[in-house]
Structure 1
Amino acid sequence: MYSLIRPLLFSFNPETAHHITLDALQLTYRLGLLPQLIKHPAVNPHKVMGLTFPNPVGLAAGLDKNGDHIDALAALGFGFIEIGTVTPRAQEGNPKPRLFRLPEAQGIINRMGFNNHGVDALIENVKRTNYRGILGINIGKNFDTPIEHAATDYLIGLRRVYTHASYVAINISSPNTKNLRQLQGSDELDALLTQLKAEQEKLADLYGKYVPLALKIAPDLDSEQIRQIATLLQRHRIDGVIATNTTLTRTGVEHLAQHTETGGLSGAPLCDRSTAVIHELATALQGALPIIGVGGILSGEDAVEKIQAGAALIQIYSGLIYRGPELINECVKAIRHLQRREK
């Protein structure tokens, strides 16, 4: 069905199509029609970060920044949902247009800039949801917070979302907030993780609930940077790592007119680089903490490659735009088939 609807959606500009799709999904959910339209994947439990995921395929952050559509998205059959990126204060994000399709390459370029309604609005949406599955909340810093004070924003975000999240994702790898990726540097990351881990421990004691932390990293890291990050993740006992965010490179799309648009590239052109980072990260970590693989998954085969590279779970976003909800079931089946072959 999605293959019939997609040409109509692609006739709108990408950001308009995004809102139309989510509003239509929400209406379909409220009318109780999704069970007739969507076949849920079979349960395939995975225990990761101390949490039991009903299946290993999740929704990546960015699609539902404010948590407006959690119930409807969960009804598509995801094993977990990640909302955000959310910042302490509401912000508009970068000027429009800021989202571009590259259909010939099954890619997307975005320079959204953490547009969101702020952490308090997100929490109110989470309180209203009926969803009781695994919910990740992805936090970032406001664009106008100086990079040297970034930890303040992350600590605010962590404190506010802690009791509402199954896990908290720390986004230091978006290319669309000025200087944000500097936080991936060894000294900067060491200082940030020190503060976040200490706060996590305080909050766990305060609420009697341990909420895992996962760090989201960029694909544009060299081997030495990946090893340094792996060392710091282990030193600070971070619970998981999400690899990867969007890329600033334009490998494979240089011939397309829109490749000159600034922002992060996702979708199929990112797939191989993301998988390579996962493999290097898994080699460096040696099982010390789990990897959530994301980046360019547009088929069950892509999902399997991420798992074989070392991911414990996967997430999709751009693939959902090009393939529709059938991709969820396809990925769950492919991973289950892989696991059966390996037994």
Structure 2
Amino acid sequence: MYKLIKPFFFSMNPESAHHTVTGGLQTFTKIWGAKSLLKSIYSITDKRLEREVLGLKFKNPVGLAAGFDKNGEYIDQMANFGFGFIEIGTVTPKPQPGNEKPRMFRLVPDEALINRMGFNNQGADVAAGRLRHLKRREGIIIGGNIGKNKVTPNEDAVLDYLYCFRALFDYVDYFVVNVSSPNTPGLRDLQEKEPLKNILRQLMDINNKNGVSRPILLKIAPDLTDSQLNDIIEIVQETKIAGVIATNTTISREGLRSNPVLVNEMGGVSGKPLTKRSTEVIRYLSEKSNRAFPIIGVGGIHTAEDAIEKLDAGACLIQLYTGFIYEGPGLVSDICKGILKSGR
């Protein structure tokens, strides 16, 4: 079915297509029986898929990565496609429009996207208000991906992360600290050892609100060197955060075959060009740390085999975004079936 309608969506600007799909999905799921229909087609329920990670019980290891649902608007709708968890964001303290349009580009020959969205979102308070009134679907874990506003100087960045953490604390199951997007000027500088430790330490200091805490993960770039990855391992163990999401989009353009005009657009590349590197980062972190902490693998997962490769490399869970766009909603069930068949 998706193969039939995909050319229509791919004839549109990527951002317009996204809004058309999500808006249409919201309308469709209001029809009586629509949610049950989608669930019957796409959801795979099997005890063997369940995972205990981060002190949470996931009904399956396949999640929707941050970026698709920036404001927590589509959690109920996307849950119908069989995801085990959904990560909203990136959320910033204040609303911001993001970068000027166009800011997302398809590299179809490479099965990739370039985006420079720039953390466009409605702000932490709006997201929290929406989650507060959400009727939580049974078994769906919700993550909150948090960042800083563009106008906030790096020396004050920790205040933005603390604000988002407090605002979303009661409504999400885990947090992701995003310091690795290439689309906010200077943000990746926060991956350096001392500023990163400062942010994570202060978040951990307030992570026992009334005796309750939330797992905190760090989302890292695929462009880090081995030395920088060694620093990440040290920082995770020193600050005692829960784990790592590997990886965000890449600034590399190596090996891309698409129109050079598109390839040279500013922004981060996601999709198949990221498959190998993100797996390499997962394997490096897992082996060098002796599997000391959970890793969520994301980047270039377009098939069940891609997902299993990341699990074999050391990921406990995986996330989709660009692969979901190119392959369609059936990818979630394909991965779940592949995991069951492989016995993992």
For residue 163 of structure 1, give the secondary structure of its aligned residue in structure 2: coil
C-alpha displacement at 1:294, in angstroms? 0.2
Give me the whole-angstrom Cα distance separating, in 2, the residues matched to 1:4 and 1:36.
19
Give me the whole-angstrom Cα distance separating, in 1, the residues matched to 2:28 and 2:86.
19
Are the counterparts in 2 of residues 139 and 171 from structure 1 also a CA contact under 8 Å? Answer: yes
**Given residue 36 of structure 1, which amino acid in structure 2 is its aligned partner?**
L
C-alpha displacement at 1:138, in angstroms? 0.5
1:186 has 2:186 as partner: no
**CA displacement, residues 149-207 of structure 1 (integer Å, 9 cap, x when unaligned):** 10010011111111111001110100000111111111111222111111213x2xx2x
For residue 89 of structure 2, give the secondary structure of its aligned residue in structure 1: strand
Aligned to 1:141: 148
Are the counterparts in 1 of residues 297 and 316 from structure 2 also a CA contact under 8 Å? Answer: yes
C-alpha displacement at 1:255, in angstroms? 5.0
The alignment-based identity, stated in percent, is 49
**CA displacement, residues 126-159 of structure 1 (integer Å, 9 cap, x when unaligned):** 1222224200011000000001110010011111
Give me the whole-angstrom Cα distance separating, in 1, the residues matched to 2:299 and 2:29.
27
C-alpha displacement at 1:339, in angstroms? 3.0
Q: Which residue, 171, 183, 188 being the options, matches 2:178? A: 171
Aligned to 2:304: 300
**Given residue 310 of structure 2, which amino acid in structure 1 is its aligned partner?**
K
Aligned to 1:282: 286
Are the counterparts in 1 of residues 42 and 329 from structure 2 also a CA contact under 8 Å? Answer: no
**Given residue 271 of structure 2, which amino acid in structure 1 is its aligned partner?**
G
Runs of 4+ residues deviating >3 angstroms: none
C-alpha displacement at 1:12, in angstroms? 0.8
Are the counterparts in 2 of residues 65 and 83 from structure 1 also a CA contact under 8 Å? Answer: yes
Give me the whole-angstrom Cα distance separating, in 2, the residues matched to 1:151 and 1:322.
36
Are the counterparts in 1 of residues 109 and 258 from structure 2 also a CA contact under 8 Å? Answer: no
For residue 200 of structure 1, give the secondary structure of its aligned residue in structure 2: coil
Are the counterparts in 2 of residues 34 and 76 from structure 1 also a CA contact under 8 Å? Answer: no
Counterparts of 1:24-35 in structure 2 under 5 Å?
Answer: 24-31=24-31, 32-35=33-36
Counterparts of 1:1-343 in structure 2 under 5 Å?
Answer: 1-31=1-31, 32-37=33-38, 38-43=41-46, 44-132=49-137, 133-201=140-208, 203=209, 206=210, 208-253=211-256, 256-257=259-260, 258-340=262-344
Distance 1:313 1:140, change over 3 A: same
Give me the whole-angstrom Cα distance separating, in 2, the residues matched to 1:75 and 1:160.
27
For residue 206 of structure 2, give the secondary structure of its aligned residue in structure 1: helix
Are the counterparts in 2 of residues 56 and 79 from structure 1 also a CA contact under 8 Å? Answer: yes
For residue 17 of structure 1, give the secondary structure of its aligned residue in structure 2: helix
Distance 1:326 1:211, change over 3 A: same
C-alpha displacement at 1:286, in angstroms? 1.3
Give the CA RMSD over aligned residues. 1.1
For residue 62 of structure 1, give the secondary structure of its aligned residue in structure 2: coil
Give me the whole-angstrom Cα distance separating, in 2, the residues matched to 1:30 and 1:72.
10
Are the counterparts in 2 of residues 219 and 243 from structure 1 also a CA contact under 8 Å? Answer: yes
Give me the whole-angstrom Cα distance separating, in 2, the residues matched to 1:27 and 1:255.
35
**Given residue 33 of structure 1, which amino acid in structure 2 is its aligned partner?**
A
C-alpha displacement at 1:252, in angstroms? 1.8
5+ residue gaps, structure 2, are none
Give me the whole-angstrom Cα distance separating, in 1, the residues matched to 2:5 and 2:96.
32
Give me the whole-angstrom Cα distance separating, in 1, the residues matched to 2:250 and 2:14.
19
C-alpha displacement at 1:333, in angstroms? 1.7
Give me the whole-angstrom Cα distance separating, in 2, the residues matched to 1:17 and 1:118.
23
Are the counterparts in 2 of residues 74 and 131 from structure 1 also a CA contact under 8 Å? Answer: no
Return the TM-score normalized by structure 2: 0.95
5+ residue gaps, structure 1, are none
C-alpha displacement at 1:26, in angstroms? 1.3
